[in-house]
Structure formats: structure tokens, C-alpha cells
Structure 1
């Protein structure tokens, strides 16, 4: 592989790690080690939570540079771990750059989210958090149904509707809260608060809040503020959607 191809491959690795929710420090460390293994001269990178910028100098003196905005996305820890594993093997010279390139492309294909697992995660997550917040087993079962509805709405309907993040979170929390109140109307002994908490828990931006605070403590203020602001906006959207649903039922 020539310098242009190695630089492009390195950029794709950094972009993929950032897109999959890896910590900024992990992305920078992995990219730096790979740049040394790729024998890229005067390599430099600047990574933010929603963007990545890389430069290096070719042997003929020309400068390669590339930057791209990377939208905030969901976390895929298994994919991050797989990329890091092969990165370490390359750094330790256990595999060649060509082999690493093939493995990296294979990882991008193999580690696509599986719809069945995502549905299962939504259902079990809603049921589990309902119990954590003092819900009973019947309430947990009802929350599992709400998680199934949430998964169907977010994974099946939303991609077709092409909603913005704000509209998505408001509409999802509103619909789940409406459904929770309908269930509560048929089964009054079920606590409405437990049902709503179990239903909306998949929307809560827990990872964004934790990472945002961590970046702020690491003095990475732009990334920290971006994460915290994103988490705050999502939280306000969820609160608005739930409040709107409760207000609607009060009117009815």
C-alpha cells in the first residue's frame, strides 16, 4: 500500500472508532500507534466528539490532510474491541498492513447491529429497569411490552419517517407514555410511574452524560460541552413528551 492508501485506511479506522462511540483518548491512542506502524511521517490528528482531522507529510514533501464531521451515534463496544484487538496485533507486527486492512473491512461488515438482538435488548432493558425502580413482576411484564413497542418504533418506523433527533425523542416518549396510560387504565393496580420509567429508559442518554462529564474533567471542553448539551436536549425532549402525554390524558 502506498502512503495515500495507508493514510486513508488510518482515517477510516479513526472515523469508525469515533462513530461507534469510542472514548476520544482511545481513538487518539489507537490512531497514533497505527500511524507509527504505517510509517506515516509528521503525523498529527485532532479529534473531537463529532469530528476528526488528520494530517501527515509524504516522502516527496506533499501534505495529506482530511477532515470530516462524524455525527453522534450509539455505542458498539464489541466493534470497538475488535478493531483495537487487530490494531494491537499490527503494532506488535503479528500481522501485515494488508491483513489488517482486510480484517478491518471484515469487521465493518460482520459487526452490524442485529435486529433480533436489538429487540431483545429493548425488551429486557425495559423490564429490568422497571424492577430496579421498585416495579413488580406484573409491571415488569407490561414494561417489556412497552420496550417491544419502543424497539419497533425506533428501529422499524423511525428510519422510514426520517425524523430529527428532537422529534424522535419527543414522539417516542409521548407514544410510550400514552400506551403506558392505556395499560394502566385496563389494569389500575399497575403503577403508572413504573410503566413509564420502564418504557422510556431506552431513550435516557446515560453514556452521553458520563462521557461528557469525563471529557470536562479531562479539560476537553468542546467535546464535553457537546456531549452534555446533547444529553440535556434529549432529556428535555423526553420530559416534554412524557409531560405532554400526561397532560393529554388529564384533558380527556
Structure 2
């Protein structure tokens, strides 16, 4: 492993960091994984710096030669399965269970996998989240069913907007508009059903829970720039959701 060209070490480590950051990993985990991969491939020294929009890596070999590179990250999502795969790959390299060529092939395969689940399972999962939150708010069978249907509709809107490559926070805003409108219409036709329970259940799939968690973890770990960036992103997402709901409730 000591004779691996420094360019290949950097390429492998940066690709691993890119895959993790694109799929919602926290900053400290990305930096740690890149460092261990570089060291496992034969780097004498490795310095990593990660922010939500980019990864930076400097690697030095035993001869004193060093190479620095960066990778810009523009699109981010949440896919914990990909993060787990890269973590396992890193451990395999460190324990010499896989070699560099196999690791690169696995990384390319992971990076090229189809993102997320198909539409119907995603809609059913979102509906389950919405229905469960309706139950937690003491909603009856009617509110639970309406929240289930509303959350499914919100997930469909997210799917449609993502295919159009819209501006960030667009689907959160439109999803909240739809949730509030469906909740209000359901309450209008069936006054016995609670509008608030339906709306809250419908917007729960839009809540940026992972982003908030990662922001707090980054701040605790001392990555203040990343923590503040993720926190601002989560706050803007929350504002987009709130604006969608407020606009509809003010009109209806």
C-alpha cells in the first residue's frame, strides 16, 4: 500500500468524502473517514477540512511530496444507507479486508446508485409519519386518515418538484401550502375533524430533523462553521414550511 500514487490516494479519499457529504453525514464523520482512508492507502500525513458545500484534503507521502485538492458539493440529500456503506468500506480498507481497487469500485457503485426509494414506498412512509403524529396529538380515526393522505400528497409534491430541479426550499413551501389547504378543506367538509391535527401531521415529513441534529453535533464537535451553516439551512427550511402554512390559513 505504501507505493500507491499520491493522486490515487487523494482521489479515493475525496470521493468517499463527497459521497458522505452529499448524503447527509456530519462534518466530523466525513473528515474522520477521509483521514482513515488516506492513511490506509499509504499516506504519510493527511489533513482534511470539510464544510457543507465542499471537501478539502491535503495528503503527503513518505518522500515529502504533498498534494491538495478540493471538491465542490452543490446537491445534498439524506441517505443513511450510503453513509453506512462508505463507513464499512473505510473500515475494510483500514483492516486490509479490501484493497484500493476494490474500494474504488465500491465507491463508484455507491455514488451511482439510484437515490432513495421509489415513489410509492416513499409516499406510504410519509403517510405513516403523518398519521402517527396525528395519533400523538390525540387525533381520532378521521384525523389520522386525513393526516396520512395529506402527508402522502406532500411527498408526491416533493417528488414532482425535485424532478423539475426547482429552487431550494421550493418543495417545502409548496408542500406546506398543500398540507394547510388539504387540512382546511377537510375541516370545511367535515367540521368534526380537527384542522390543526391534520395540518401538523401533514407537514411532519418536511421537518428538517436530520439537518438540525447534524448542526448540533457539528457545533458540539467544534466545527462551528459547518454547524452554523447547517443550522441556517434548517432554519430557512422551517421558515419556508411556516410561510406555506400561514399563507393558506390567512386566506382560508
State TM-score, norm by structure 2. Answer: 0.90
- 1:67 matched to 2:70? The reply is yes
Between stretches 106-115 and 55-64, larger displacement belongs to 55-64
Q: What is the aligned partner in structure 1 of residue 188 from structure 2?
A: 185
Cα displacement (A) at 1:39: 1.0
Q: What is the aligned partner in structure 2 of residue 14 from structure 1?
A: 17
Q: What is the aligned partner in structure 1 of residue 48 from structure 2?
A: 45
Q: How does 1:102-141 map to 2 (within 5 A)?
A: 102-110=105-113, 112-115=115-118, 116-141=120-145
Contact between 2:23 and 2:76, CA under 8 Å: does it hold in 1?
yes
Name the CA distance, whole Å, in 1 between partners of 2:96 and 2:61: 22
- 1:225 matched to 2:218? The reply is no
Q: What is the aligned partner in structure 2 of residue 237 from structure 1?
A: 240
Name the CA distance, whole Å, in 2 between partners of 1:111 and 1:175: 27
Cα displacement (A) at 1:184: 1.4
CA RMSD of aligned residues (A): 2.0
Unaligned runs of 5+ in 2: none
2:155 to 136, 151, 155: 151
Structure 1 residue matching 2:169: 3-state secondary structure: helix
Between stretches 50-59 and 27-36, larger displacement belongs to 50-59
Change in Cα spacing, 1:181 to 1:220, as seen in structure 2 (3 Å) is same
Cα displacement (A) at 1:50: 2.5
Structure 1 residue matching 2:225: 3-state secondary structure: helix
Contact between 2:27 and 2:223, CA under 8 Å: does it hold in 1?
no
Name the CA distance, whole Å, in 2 between partners of 1:5 and 1:130: 52
- State the number of aligned residues: 248
Change in Cα spacing, 1:80 to 1:111, as seen in structure 2 (3 Å) is farther
- 1:28 matched to 2:5? The reply is no
Between stretches 64-73 and 174-183, larger displacement belongs to 64-73
Structure 1 residue matching 2:166: 3-state secondary structure: coil
Cα displacement (A) at 1:241: 1.0
- 1:80 matched to 2:83? The reply is yes
Could you report, residue by residue, the CA deviation over 1:145-180 in whole angstroms, capped at 9, with x for unpaired residues?
11111111101x203443212333222211221121
Change in Cα spacing, 1:77 to 1:166, as seen in structure 2 (3 Å) is closer
